[in-house]
Amino acid sequence: MSNLKTRKEETRQRIVETASRLFQQKGVDGVGVDEIMRESGLTHGGFYAHFANKEALVAEACTCALQQASAKWSGLGQLLSDDARFEQFMNEYLAGDPRTGAPACPAAMLGPDVARRGEAVQAAYTAGVKRMIEVIAKEAGAEREEAIAMFAAMIGATNLAASVGDDKALAAEILQATRRQLLQCGVAEG
């Protein structure tokens, strides 16, 4: 592989990762191509050497963000005892919101924007969600239906916490209450 091709792939990946981070922080419509390219250390004109349009970038950014989250959570169960697996997973997931500086799942942060996007973006997001459900089931020691219910509750709590604006106390209360209730479900004991 030539150095030029390798550099182009590295640049493309940098753009995708930057877009992924910014989309999660500000929403897809809250970030323009200019800002993404500037944050990537590039000029606006270089964007079209890598992507046909913003929609193509959004699809790749969704895929990237959800793959990174799945990879982060894969293997979590191997590192923890059976009793601690589920609690650790809940604690990590319900840590907060990237808009406030705390990590959260990209499925929660990107979901509302994805619903208004085209088929390619929705397909990328759906594939990522399916992968996340599989990871949750495996790492939490849960059946698929339980994993879906947990994931839905976690996404809802994260979205709600992110939506209450400057009321950080309420946001924290939402995340803590959801974590406590999910832990009381006893899925890991199942």
Q: Where are the domains of the chain?
A: 54-189
Give the C-alpha separation, 66 to 72, whole Å. Answer: 10
Tell me how far apart the 2 most distant CA atoms of the chain are, in Å: 55
Q: Is the pLDDT of residue 96 over 70?
A: no
Over residues 14-69, the pLDDT tens digits come to: 999 999 999 988 889 999 999 999 999 999 888 999 999 999 999 999 999 999 88
Please give the pLDDT value at position 77.
65
Mean pLDDT (the chain, rounded): 84
Structure tokens at 156: 């809802």
Please give the pLDDT value at position 189.
44
Give the C-alpha separation, 76 to 132, whole Å. Answer: 13
Residue 9's pLDDT band (boundaries 50, 70, 90)? very high
Task: Look up the pTM and report it.
Answer: 0.81
Residue 108's pLDDT band (boundaries 50, 70, 90)? confident
Please give the pLDDT value at position 80.
60
Mean pLDDT of 5-17: 92
**For the structural domain made of 54-189, what CATH number should be given?**
1.10.357.10
- Collapsing DSSP states into helix, strand and coil, what is residue 79? helix
Exposure string over 38-57, b if 16+ CB within 10 A, otherwise e: eebebeeeebeebbeebeeb
Over residues 112-152, the pLDDT tens digits come to: 888 889 999 999 999 999 999 998 888 877 899 988 998 89
For residue 29, which of 58, 61, 60, 63 has the smallest C-alpha distance?
58
User: What is the C-alpha end-to-end distance of the chain, expressed in Å?
Assistant: 50
Please give the pLDDT value at position 172.
85
Structure tokens at 113: 């924007």
Express as a percent the part of the chain with pLDDT over 70. Answer: 87
Residues 73 and 139: beta-carbon distance below 8 Å: yes
- Collapsing DSSP states into helix, strand and coil, what is residue 32? coil
Q: Is the pLDDT of residue 171 over 50?
A: yes
Structure tokens at 29: 């419509």
Residue type at position 189: E
Residue 190's pLDDT band (boundaries 50, 70, 90)? very low
Q: Is the pLDDT of residue 102 over 90?
A: no
For Cα atoms 166, 28, 90, give the angle at the middle one, nearest 5 degrees: 60
For residue 58, which of 135, 134, 119 has the smallest C-alpha distance?
119
